[in-house]
Structure 1
Amino acid sequence: MTMGKIIFYEDKNFQGRSYETSNDCAEVTSYLSRCNSCRVESGCFMVYERPNFMGHQMMVRRGEYPDNQRLMGMTMSDCIRSCRNIPSYRGQFRMRMYERENFGGQMHELMDDCDSIQDRYRMSDCQSCNVMEGHWLMYEQPHFRGRQMYVRPGEYRNLREMGNSSMNRFMSVRRITDSCLTYICLPLKWGCSYMSQWPSITLQDWQSDMRSCTCSDYSLLPVLPQITFYEEKNFQGRCYECSSDCADLHSYLSRCNSARVESGAWVLYEKPNYKGYQYILSPGEYTDNQQWMGFNDSVKSCRAVKNVYGNVWKLRLYERPDFGGQMVEWAEDCPSVYEAFKFREVYSCMVTHGAWAFYELPNYRGRQYFLERGEYPRHTDWSAASAAVGSFRRITEF
């Protein structure tokens, strides 16, 4: 288990006496008379407004936090009184959510992120939970917004046992995976959620608002994806840098023969509006379009792969449209569909976890098709002209 390290300071901007810890601390003021800034050297921590891991909570990752009032979204000074180290964890995730206190009412078992408990399970209220495996963040509002609560393996009969007596319920849940170590803490302005603008915001926007935002509504989002397109091979000629979906690249480039993916996974399309041949790129350098198996030098639109975190991939393949006929469930790469399942065509598919790439031919060759979590009743729903699927694999590198 990798331990993190956090340093608390009595005054803002890392001034005054300091206290360093790698462990849970139930009372920071046992070591300092007050706490007004902090620096996370490594790992992730949950910091709390009150002693004994109670009150308003905020997850912090590696970085500098010169003003705890701004971080916690509170007007009072000295607003961090306790902290928990969130350990690195790579195992399975499993928890049970209950509609009422003391594990009463409707129950659902969860193994992945849930951006809206009400939409997925038709539960308008969640008051208790049993965490069997993994570490989780609970959010007061859907889509991972509002106040947070950290829960680790154990039984929580009510919200008070989760450490926040002022919250009435939680409405979305996210696993804390190793990928959280590359997340940023993003402010959500009152009346204008940056979630609706993601991923169109720029790093400069984020840095500016982190300096000026004083509201208490924060959320965790992944670092900005980034790709640079070049007209010529070997990163020569005119270039265009992109960090969000783009439906028409024609105004920036006349052709594309090389690319650098700095972060994130991307889907490139031959034609505008996400049409035509598709090419799926992970972080790396592509000196020639043949390295992404390009059929030509035309790249006219692109999408960043979003909402795919964690370490679980799973899909179901069907030999008939509308989820009919033989069904197989799979969670690994498959270099030959025929050798594995004895059929050559997939007419419908259901992706329950992760993001996937389908290939027209075995051994990850031929036309590519990107599939994210969702239902695909017909092969045309993943933009394929025919139902031929020779191989498929997980998109694992971001």
Structure 2
Amino acid sequence: MGRITFYEDKNFQGRSYDCSSDCSDFSSHLSRCGSCRVESGCFMVYERPGYAGSQVFLRRGEYPDFQRMSSMSGMMGMTNMDNVRSCRFIPMHRGQFRMRIYEKENFGGQMHEMMDDCDNMMERYRMSECQSCNVMDGHWLMYEQPNYRGRMMYMRPGEYRSMRDMGMSGSTRFNSFRRIMDMSEDTNANMTMGKIIFYEDRNFQGRSYETGSDCPDMTSYLSRCHSCRVESGFFMVYDRSNFMGNQYFVKRGEYSDYQRMGMSDCIRSCRNIPMHRGQFRMRIYEKENFGGQMHEMMDDCDNMMERYRMSECQSCNVMDGHWLMYEQPNYRGRMMYMRPGEYRSMRDMGMSGSTRFNSFRRITDSC
């Protein structure tokens, strides 16, 4: 759940209050709050009751003086907090992240859907304001300045028709956005997340862009992408934006030329593939909309026709784990990455009607 201990005075002195959930008003427990220790989990603390006023994100660590919170948190330019009056516990989200940001209130003006961090909204989207948003998946932090600096605001899943309704002044503008992920508790988080570096030119030349998460459009960072290095983790790279077109599975190693990956054009988008530790389960169906023969798989299959006497797989239901489907037997030919979910038609995944899948492999640590 997480655990945070608040103290009346600076440097962890005076009476204390342990908390592992939301608290809308500390005055029921302490007359004031000058410092805290986060023993586990992530929290948002607020300078006013009812989760209002300036807010600061805290993860595991010691915070001996709230008046120096900005320098301790690395959020220069943020208004200092004299006291903490309320807090929210932030549950960890393990799946995908998705948020739509809108230029105007009530979901008006430009709209952009985000699935990863954005360090500068103006540079990426050419949008000067974000006045409303819809958080569909995950928990996010919004920052007043680019590069995750200045005043911040915590956003849980939900519809936010006006930032002013969130207690922000009409002059407040948000310019960068970051997903809240479980980086504080997992010592292997960087390995779980993965790290990939993309380069404009072949053989790792030209400008570069580094990421550990999904990127739906590389053109926000590079004019082209012709090579990449994977330092840790697994990724799927695509030759079209928004995870479409030809796709290729990459693991730790060097990929000096995109054409050797079977890409018709340069790399345009990528997905980070999280590691799954439990069982794997997928049902494959002969026809679209889960029709025809059905077979449930829990391990790799190098030849669907030989094993199941089934010539086509036109829909599937991935229940557990992450999988790769291949056009030819023995894990060869064009491939497609499948996350947990229902897939009623392979054509809806951007594959042509002539594409047939004939072998299937689980994505495991030994890939």
- TM-score of the superposed pair, with normalisation by structure 2: 0.55
SS at match of 1:353: strand
- Quote how far apart the aligned CAs of 1:128 are: 0.7
Tell me the amino acid that sits aligned with residue 120 of structure 2: S
Q: Which residue of 2 aligns with 1:136?
A: 140
- Kept after mapping to 2: 8 A contact 1:315/1:349: no
Relative to structure 1, is the Cα distance of residues 176 and 76 closer, same or farther in structure 2, using a 3 angstrom cutoff? Answer: closer
- Kept after mapping to 2: 8 A contact 1:95/1:129: yes
- Quote how far apart the aligned CAs of 1:120 are: 1.6
Deviations 1:362-392 (A, max 9, x none): xxxxxxxxxxxxxxxxxxxxxxxxxxxxxxx
SS at match of 2:183: helix
Match of 1:352 among 253, 269, 289: 269
Tell me the amino acid that sits aligned with residue 237 of structure 2: L
- Quote how far apart the aligned CAs of 1:82 are: 0.8
- Quote how far apart the aligned CAs of 1:104 are: 1.5
Question: Could you tell me how far apart the structure 1 residues matched to 2:131 and 2:44 are?
Answer: 21
Tell me the amino acid that sits aligned with residue 142 of structure 2: M
Tell me the amino acid that sits aligned with residue 63 of structure 1: G
SS at match of 1:71: helix
Tell me the amino acid that sits aligned with residue 13 of structure 2: Q
* Identical counterparts, % of pairs: 53
SS at match of 2:266: strand
Deviations 1:105-145 (A, max 9, x none): 11111111111111121111111111111100111112212
Q: Which residue of 1 aligns with 2:9?
A: 11
- Quote how far apart the aligned CAs of 1:21 are: 0.6
- TM-score of the superposed pair, with normalisation by structure 1: 0.51
Match of 2:59 among 55, 58, 61: 61
Relative to structure 1, is the Cα distance of residues 344 and 307 closer, same or farther in structure 2, using a 3 angstrom cutoff? Answer: closer
Q: Which residue of 2 aligns with 1:123?
A: 127
Question: Could you tell me how far apart the structure 2 residues matched to 1:102 and 1:327 are?
Answer: 34
- Quote how far apart the aligned CAs of 1:350 are: 1.4
- Kept after mapping to 2: 8 A contact 1:149/1:163: no
Relative to structure 1, is the Cα distance of residues 352 and 85 closer, same or farther in structure 2, using a 3 angstrom cutoff? Answer: same
- 1:38 equivalent to 2:42? Answer no
Tell me the amino acid that sits aligned with residue 68 of structure 1: F
Q: Unpaired segments of 5 or more residues in structure 1?
A: 184-222, 226-260, 268-274, 279-303, 338-342, 357-393
Q: RMSD of aligned C-alpha atoms? A: 4.3
SS at match of 1:29: helix
- Quote how far apart the aligned CAs of 1:149 are: 0.6
- Quote how far apart the aligned CAs of 1:93 are: 1.1
Q: Which residue of 2 aligns with 1:359?
A: none
Question: Could you tell me how far apart the structure 2 residues matched to 1:98 and 1:277 are?
Answer: 36
Relative to structure 1, is the Cα distance of residues 163 and 22 closer, same or farther in structure 2, using a 3 angstrom cutoff? Answer: farther
Q: How many aligned positions are there? A: 238
Match of 1:329 among 244, 247, 251: 247
Tell me the amino acid that sits aligned with residue 97 of structure 2: F
Q: Which residue of 2 aligns with 1:258?
A: none
Deviations 1:174-211 (A, max 9, x none): 1111225579xxxxxxxxxxxxxxxxxxxxxxxxxxxx
Q: Which residue of 1 aligns with 2:219?
A: none
Relative to structure 1, is the Cα distance of residues 105 and 181 closer, same or farther in structure 2, using a 3 angstrom cutoff? Answer: farther
Aligned pairs for 1:362-373 (under 5 A) are none
Q: Which residue of 1 aligns with 2:281?
A: none
- Kept after mapping to 2: 8 A contact 1:159/1:167: no
Relative to structure 1, is the Cα distance of residues 160 and 26 closer, same or farther in structure 2, using a 3 angstrom cutoff? Answer: farther
- 1:315 equivalent to 2:315? Answer no
Q: Which residue of 1 aligns with 2:94?
A: 90
Question: Could you tell me how far apart the structure 2 residues matched to 1:39 and 1:345 are?
Answer: 51
Q: Which residue of 2 aligns with 1:24?
A: 22
Relative to structure 1, is the Cα distance of residues 353 and 161 closer, same or farther in structure 2, using a 3 angstrom cutoff? Answer: farther
- Kept after mapping to 1: 8 A contact 2:43/2:89: yes
Q: Which residue of 2 aligns with 1:175?
A: 179
